[in-house]
Structure 1
Amino acid sequence: MGSLRLTLCTGVLAAVAAAGPTASAADGGVSVSPSTPGPGSDLALRATGCTGTTGTAASKAFVSDVELTGGDGTLAGETRVRSMVGPGRYEVQVICGGDKSKSMKSHVTIGNASAAPSAPASPVAPVKAGGGGTAHLASVDAAATGPNTAHTVTGLVLVGAAAVAVVLRGTRRSRRTG
């Protein structure tokens, strides 16, 4: 009995989640989420009825054309609404697979601008970027981080090995020519 109740609750939850805030055009099979985006907001598009796996959606309200991908008759993509677009209804044209004869038209309604931030965005502390982010390293004591005896010994061993290699190479060449 408990599993039947769980199954029914899960089914109802899935149906409610699928019917989230979207605007759909009955004539075109294009849905937009959120249903009334504001200027500068992100937007998800979904087109049903395209037979291909790619498509393009275009509107004067979008920052750029939307590349749609998917399969099984459903294509999806994301875009952003222009930040300076005015409120109103804008046409959205979806072209399925690059074939202009297979296109759908719909509309998206842009709402009023979202509330402006109360204070302009500005840093409240120094930003750790570029050379300025390494400034705290200059305050470290140079004597504590400089070369020590281990570094000196390693350097001398490497110099000695290089000198031996040069001498051996020179003696081998002189034996071959002489």
Structure 2
Amino acid sequence: MRSLPLTFCAALVAGTIALPASAAPADPKTDEPRDEKRSGTVSVTPSRVSPDGEVELRVDVCGKGRSARGNSEAFTSEARFAPADGKGLVAHARIRSDAAPDDYEIWVTCEDGHGRATGTVTVVRHSRPSPVAPVRAGGGGTALLAEQAAADEGPGTRHTVIGLGLGAVAAVAVALRSVRRRRTAAH
């Protein structure tokens, strides 16, 4: 993904070195300011985002331009810039839900076509929140108390012994009652 910009930069450097000084323009100034190509950078907030997340983009390269358009392979659609508090232009863009974790270049072109800006957004893996139990909600904190009580109490050895003892008492009571019925029936 980065090899294409590197190729263009290498070609530009090679062409600049090979260009003789006499072939360079004598006067770099132009009479018409509209011919000037402004360039700048795109401010991306947050710079690291998960797929299906949203980023805010800001540029100040468009001068008095009222709008601009931005694109990236990571965006679901074209970002449309509008004026923002006298501090350049701002837009919001959504990251594709199927965007692979990587660095993606952003290109912005001013509406007058004389300003351009570039930037980078980093797409990271989904950071899905994992649920935490129990949910601490309602009852003014009773969920916390219930959690502690459930952890402290529970069927343990003490409860097993008590249960067996009560079962033995019940078995003896049933046996004695059966014996008593037989004796009263025999008389």
TM range (shorter): 0.3 to 0.5
Structure 2 length-normalised TM: 0.44
